Amino acid sequence: MSQEDQDRRVDYIEFLTTNIQETKSFYSEVFGWEFTDYGPEYTSFTDGRLAGGFAVAPEVTAGGPLVVLYSTDLAEIQASVRESGGRIVREIFEFPGGRRFHFADPSGNELAVWSDR
């Protein structure tokens, strides 16, 4: 996509983290994200489609927009979240169009994962 094609689209998402290494391990293990470090207090990621970053902060406050990821196998991802140090905030539930669950990463950021399967 050219820069013109990107006009008025979400281009980058930044999160806060209390521990860069723990965050990188969690997201690479659970979702396969790849990281590039920019010093000791910032890392960027790519999930293969969208990019973003994590900046070190003394604490992470819950709230704000909910980032929703997609998976073809909710149960597998939910188990991986637990095994990799995440916490399930809301168990799998149905909604019009599919099912999803919410989780908190090791720093406390809340995200969701949904599936149409």
pLDDT at 5: 78
**pLDDT tens per residue across span 79-103:** 999 999 999 999 999 999 999 999 9
Query: What is the tally of structural domains in the chain?
Result: 1
Domain of residue 93 covers 4-115
pLDDT at 4: 80
At residue 62's C-alpha, the angle toward residues 26 and 50, to 5°, is 50
pLDDT at 2: 72
The stretches in the chain having pLDDT less than 70 are 1
Instruction: Using alpha carbons, select from 84, 108, 87 the residue that is nearest to residue 25.
Output: 84
Model-level pTM? 0.92
Instruction: Using alpha carbons, select from 114, 10, 105 the residue that is nearest to residue 52.
Output: 10
102: β partners? 90, 112
Q: What Rg, from alpha-carbon coordinates, does the chain have? A: 15
pLDDT at 1: 59
> In CATH, what number is assigned to the domain containing residue 95?
3.10.180.10
